[in-house]
């Protein structure tokens, strides 16, 4: 399996459905109507329902655990700055870039961005991962 | 509504069920067997299925948005250091403490910890929130 190097990148296209947001609200207990109720959301500055930040950010975890670096990833740290709302039923891109690799400790620091189809950043942060084969 | 001050704290008892973890895997796409398959998990250093970090951390968001500070919270930032696995069907406590308040900008910095019944920390981090009435 090829090791990741500084500067390596990955992109994942995403779309969050209202149905999955409703399910996330149920299992997490976060039933804030801003996520669930279009009429309520229309009265807020956002104008329409937004995805829970932790459900939106979970795309980073999904990519790390299942694709890039992939199975065997140990998740050590993540930060997320919520810069703009993530709307349901819109296209988003999760973009990743390797910022640092420590080949001795088998660790990497990854820049993580979730942006809309116009390149507007919704979430930005960094992840710290360990993977014995890919760093 | 009473304003939060530096030093104010809140605790929420939690338990993550295997059923909800299975649902989270489905809606997030993070189908890593470490979360889903007890036989697979038994072969790993964890020994049993663990909760997705983003699903575990979502308890912070749930508390902020629905209880403390409550509805109207705007989530600006969260970091999470994953220090130990979060196991399904075990008791956990999400513990919160106000570290800083900016009454002019209506912002607060909150320490967030998810720990097990023995006080072992699984996730630790800080949140930055805005709430026009509670800071």
Whether residue A55 lies within 8 A of chain B, CB to CB, comes out as: yes
| pLDDT digit string, tens, across residues B32-64 | 999 999 999 999 889 999 999 999 999 999 999
CATH code, domain carrying B59: 3.10.129.10
Print the domain residue range for B120. 9-130
pLDDT in the model for residue B113:
98
Asked, for residue B123, whether it belongs to a domain, the answer is yes
- Is B111 a member of any domain? yes
In a domain, A2, yes or no: no
- Over residues A6-10, the mean pLDDT reads 98
Tell me, what's the pLDDT at B61?
Answer: 96
- Whether residue A3 lies inside any domain: the answer is no
How many domains does one find in chain B? Answer: 1
Stated pTM of the model: 0.95
Of residues A111, A121, A46, the one with CA closest to residue A82? A121
Is B3 inside any structural domain?
no
pLDDT tens track for A63-105: 999 999 998 899 999 999 999 999 999 999 999 999 999 999 9
- Let me know if residue A4 belongs to a domain: no
B21 assigned to some structural domain: yes
- For the range A101-110, what are the long-range contacts, defined as Cβ-Cβ under 8 Å and sequence gap of 24 or more? A101/A3, A101/A4, A101/A5, A101/A6, A101/A135, A102/A135, A103/A3, A103/A135, A105/A130, A105/A135, A106/A130, A106/A131, A106/A132, A106/A135, A107/A76, A107/A135, A108/A4, A108/A69, A108/A134, A108/A135, A110/A64
To the nearest whole Å, the CA of B125 is away from the closest chain A CA by 9
Collect all residues of chain B within an 8 Å Cβ-Cβ radius of residue A52. 58, 61
Mean predicted confidence (pLDDT) in A9-27 = 97
User: B103-128: per-residue pLDDT in tens?
Assistant: 999 999 999 999 999 999 999 999 99
% of chain A exceeding 70 in pLDDT: 100
Closest CA in chain A for residue B71: A32
**Region of residue A134 (left: phi > 0; alpha: psi -120 to 50; beta: else):** alpha
Rounded to 5 degrees, φ, ψ at B128 are -115, 120
Of the pLDDT bands very low, low, confident and very high (cuts 50, 70, 90), residue B1 is confident
Mean pLDDT across chain B: 96
Quote the pLDDT of residue A1: 75
A66–B31: do the CB atoms touch at under 8 Å? yes
Beta strands in chain A (DSSP E): 9-15, 74-82, 91-102, 107-116, 121-130
Q: Is residue B135 situated within a structural domain?
A: no
Query: Measured between alpha carbons, how far is B100 from B85 in angstroms, rounded to an integer?
Result: 29
pLDDT-based confidence at residue A133 (cuts at 50, 70, 90): very high
Residue of B53, B59, B66, B114 for testing the chain A interface, max A β-carbons within 10 Å: B53
3-class SS of residue A69: coil
Those of residues 57-116 in B touching chain A at CB distance below 8 A are: 57-62, 65-66, 71, 75-82
pLDDT at B29 over 80: yes
């Amino acid at each position: 399996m090829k090791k990741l190097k500084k500067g390596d990148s990955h992109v994942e296209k995403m779309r969050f459905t209202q149905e999955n947001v409703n399910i996330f609200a149920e299992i997490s207990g976060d039933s804030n109507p801003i996520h669930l109720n279009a009429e309520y959301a229309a009265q807020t500055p956002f104008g329409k329902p937004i995805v829970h930040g932790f459900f939106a950010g979970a795309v980073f975890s999904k990519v790390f655990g299942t694709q890039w670096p992939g199975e065997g990833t140990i998740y050590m740290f993540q930060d997320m700055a919520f810069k703009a709302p993530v709307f349901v039923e819109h296209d988003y891109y999760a973009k990743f870039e390797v910022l640092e690799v420590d080949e001795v400790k088998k660790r990497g620091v990854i820049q993580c961005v979730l942006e809309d189809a116009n390149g507007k950043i919704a979430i930005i942060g960094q992840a710290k991962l360990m993977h014995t084969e890919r760093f």
